[in-house]
Structure 1
């Protein structure tokens, strides 16, 4: 288990805030032990919260060219046929994974191949399960081509708390299946768009693991 690099600034800020809380408790209430213990406890809770949120466990990727892996840890909240209007401009099967604040927030490539499309969209911060969050929230859209005519699109979508999306890939990159492609801070969701007829291997409300759970088979 390691600490993700996206969390360094947050951890530094929490350490400074925790030190300030403890200093204030001891300065303004020098004789009140209860206040001191409360400040210590609050500082520990804040630091542990940041450490668990930005944890980056080592995992064994479930690689297979026929598999579409879950891009994130979380719970399946959408499986439906929709119109994908940004890139494919046709009907696709959408599978969405919701990440709560307690999930690992590393995002991974569902397939390996060539990044054909990568675009960041500024937007709103509706709750991640809102029907319009996929098209109106801050988001990134990534398309990976595994081989000719085999493409998977997925979106990182910000939520009401998630106010920073990070992605590390760009058009023209060659990426490996299950490799880290980005990070979303403080909970959100990832949508995956698959060709009609794709075999879906998960069910609504199923808990999935990024890079390990097979969402579908191409």
Structure 2
């Protein structure tokens, strides 16, 4: 099932203004044509169900937090990754992708930090630390060890607002909806070095379904 997120209402209302003005001016043809604009804006906020909504994700699996194309998968990049040793997966969302974001790994949200910033193109290296963004850190205990995943919502050139609907201290599940970014953006996921990355640059990924990384069995998971 596909629903429309509540954030669509104000944007769709603004997009409908030209069609309404054309109708009031007695130009039904133009009004009909312009009527496609609010429909397209509403479609941007579509929120389809995903497999994570129906079936629990395995403890070892890290899923994609967004629909889009993998820009980078490998060691944490300088100036992008948090301090410490990380592996990184960066996903670019075009304006045509579903923009509902999901958590890549379930557990307790240790940190949720919003940072205002610029609106550089999301595919640039600098956007990761200069653009408006929200950093989220989740931790989960498995077999007596604490696993930590850091992920980041980043707005882009077209996106002008990041929406995060979870707070520090909450318990969240893998693939759970956490918010969205408006109109073209980027998401980064950072996992520890011992985690196996399962995607490469250029791959298409689906939020809540594509497994992008996996903890090795030797980690002690059941």
- Secondary structure of 1:163 counterpart: coil
For residue 167 of structure 1, what is the aligned residue in structure 2?
A: 164
For residue 112 of structure 2, what is the aligned residue in structure 1?
A: 118
Structure 1 Cα separation of the partners of residues 201 and 147 of structure 2: 25
Whose radius of gyration is greater, 1 or 2?
Answer: 1
Structure 1 Cα separation of the partners of residues 18 and 29 of structure 2: 16
RMSD value, Cα: 1.8
Structure 1 Cα separation of the partners of residues 72 and 82 of structure 2: 19
For residue 7 of structure 1, what is the aligned residue in structure 2?
A: 8
Matches within 5 A, 1:1-218: 1-24=2-25, 26=26, 36-43=28-35, 45-61=36-52, 63-82=57-76, 89-147=83-141, 148-218=145-215
Give CA deviations for 1:73-112 in whole Å, capped at 9, x if unaligned.
Answer: 1110111312577995212111011111111110001111
Structure 2 Cα separation of the partners of residues 84 and 113 of structure 1: 27
Gaps of 5+ in 2: 216-222
Give CA deviations for 1:176-200 in whole Å, capped at 9, x if unaligned.
Answer: 1111011101010100011113211
TM-score normalized with structure 1 length: 0.89
Gaps of 5+ in 1: 27-34
Contact 1:110 1:178 in 2 (8 A): yes
For structure 1, which segment, 153-162 or 62-71, has the greater mean C-alpha deviation from structure 2 after superposition?
Answer: 62-71
Contact 1:83 1:91 in 2 (8 A): no
Contact 1:115 1:172 in 2 (8 A): yes
TM-score normalized with structure 2 length: 0.88
After superposition, the Cα gap between the structure-2 partners of 1:130 and 1:84, relative to the gap in structure 1 and judged at 3 Å, is closer
Structure 1 residue 12, shift from structure 2 partner = 2.1
